[in-house]
Amino acid sequence: MRFVARFALDLDGIVEVKTFYKNKNAVLQIESEKDNYTSITPKFPAAIWSERKIKDDFGIKFKGSFDERKLIHHERFPAIAPMLKSFVDSEIDFESFKPYKYEVIGGEGVFEVGVGPIHAGIIEPGHFQFSQEGENMLHLEVRHFYKYKAIEKMIEGKDPYTVFDIIEKISGNESIAYQKAYLKILSFASNQKISSDIRKYNALLLEIERLIHHLTDLGFIPNDAGFGSALAFCSQKSEELRRVLKEITGHRFGFGAIRGKAKIFNKEKLKDFLQKFENDIKWFKDWILDIPSLFDRFDTTGILTAKNAIKYSCVGVIARASGLRNDVRDNEEFYKNYGFELQREKTGDVSARFKVRLKEVFNSLDMIKNLLDFNESSMQIKELKDGEYYSFVESSLGELFMFLKIKDAKVERFYARDPSFVNWQVLHLMMNGNIIADFPLINKSCDLSYAGNDL
Instruction: Classify residue 68: in a domain, yes or no.
Output: yes
Instruction: Classify residue 33: in a domain, yes or no.
Output: yes
**pLDDT on residue 32:** 52
How far apart are alpha carbons 434 and 294 in whole angstroms?
16
This prediction has a pTM of 0.96
Is residue 115 domain-shared with residue 31, that is, in the same domain?
no
Domain boundary among 120, 147, 174: 147
Do 345 and 321 form a contact (C-beta atoms < 8 A)? yes
Is residue 64 domain-shared with residue 173, that is, in the same domain?
no
Work out how many domains the chain is built from and give that number. 3
For residue 401, the tally of other CB atoms under 10 A from its CB is 23
The SS3 assignment for 225 reads coil
Virtual torsion, Cα 159, 161, 163, 165, nearest 10 deg: -150
What lies within 8 Å, CB to CB, of 96 at 6+ separation is 76
Looking at the DSSP assignment, which residues form a beta bridge with residue 402? 391, 416
Is residue 130 domain-shared with residue 259, that is, in the same domain?
no
Is residue 89 domain-shared with residue 212, that is, in the same domain?
no
Is residue 28 domain-shared with residue 92, that is, in the same domain?
yes
Do 322 and 309 form a contact (C-beta atoms < 8 A)? yes
pLDDT digits (tens, 9 = 90+) for 108-121: 999 999 999 998 77
Containing structural domain, residue 414: 154-446
Instruction: Classify residue 112: in a domain, yes or no.
Output: yes
Is residue 80 domain-shared with residue 195, that is, in the same domain?
no
The SS3 assignment for 58 reads helix
**pLDDT on residue 25:** 66
Instruction: Classify residue 455: in a domain, yes or no.
Output: no
Instruction: Give how far Cα 66 sits from Cα of 39, 43, 133, 154, 198, Å.
Output: 9, 11, 26, 31, 45
Is residue 133 domain-shared with residue 19, that is, in the same domain?
no
The SS3 assignment for 348 reads coil
Would you give per-residue pLDDT tens digits along the chain (455 residues)?
899 999 999 998 889 999 999 887 666 666 555 556 889 999 999 999 999 999 999 998 899 999 999 999 999 999 999 999 999 988 889 999 999 999 989 899 999 999 999 987 778 899 999 999 999 999 999 999 998 899 999 999 999 999 999 999 999 889 999 999 999 999 999 999 999 999 999 999 999 999 999 999 999 999 999 999 999 999 999 999 999 999 999 999 999 999 999 999 999 999 999 999 999 999 999 999 999 999 999 999 999 999 999 999 999 999 999 999 999 999 999 999 999 999 999 999 999 999 999 999 999 999 999 999 999 999 988 899 999 999 999 999 999 999 999 999 999 999 999 999 999 999 999 998 899 999 999 999 999 999 999 98
How far apart are alpha carbons 188 and 181 in whole angstroms?
11
Do 44 and 3 form a contact (C-beta atoms < 8 A)? yes
Is residue 54 domain-shared with residue 172, that is, in the same domain?
no
Looking at the DSSP assignment, which residues form a beta bridge with residue 27? 19
**Residue 421 is part of a domain; what is its CATH number?**
1.10.645.10
**pLDDT on residue 13:** 80
Instruction: Classify residue 38: in a domain, yes or no.
Output: yes
